[in-house]
Amino acid sequence: MKSISIKTADETEFIDITNQIGALIRENALNNGLLFIYVPHTTAGVTINEGADPSVQRDIMAVLNKIVPRGFDYRHLEGNSPAHVKASLIGSSVTVMVENAAICLGAWQKIFFCEFDGPRSRKIWVKFYRQDSLKC
């Protein structure tokens, strides 16, 4: 298992980690297989979505803020319940295929770390599963 460290700058943000994941693939000579990307935090997540137009990330965050409002009657005493709910909605892991040492993503897709309770120092865990016959 490998780990990526991230320092987030804002309370909520999407951070494109596609290049960092690609670097791990190359450094570890993963030619063909599956890559499991996991965020071990309860107030952050990971997703795959459009990376060409940054307004997509802003739109996703705006919708999350609308459906998970700050002013709701939350019971969690720490005050970050919206971050927990958003992390559950986005999810804590994604799986991607790797072929010929490249991530198999669609033309517009990127992998995003999603911060909902920052700024913080975070970790992303990455696990490789080698598979010689895997094809995208």
Please identify every stretch of the chain with a pLDDT value under 70, giving residue numbers as ranges: 132-136
Domain boundaries, given as residue ranges, for the chain: 2-130
- What confidence score (pLDDT) does residue 29 get? 87
How many whole angstroms separate alpha carbon 54 and alpha carbon 14? 9
Position 77 scores a pLDDT of 81
Q: Are 37 and 21 in contact (CB under 8 A)?
A: yes
Q: What is the pLDDT of residue 134?
A: 58
pTM of the model: 0.94
Q: What is the pLDDT of residue 87?
A: 98
Torsion sign across C-alpha atoms 21, 51, 60, 10: positive
If you compute the radius of gyration of the chain from its CA atoms, what whole number of angstroms results? 16
Instruction: Output the CA angle 62-114-103, nearest 5 degrees.
Output: 120
pLDDT at residue 131, as a whole number: 82
Q: What homologous superfamily is domain 2-130 in, according to CATH?
A: YjbQ-like (2.60.120.460)
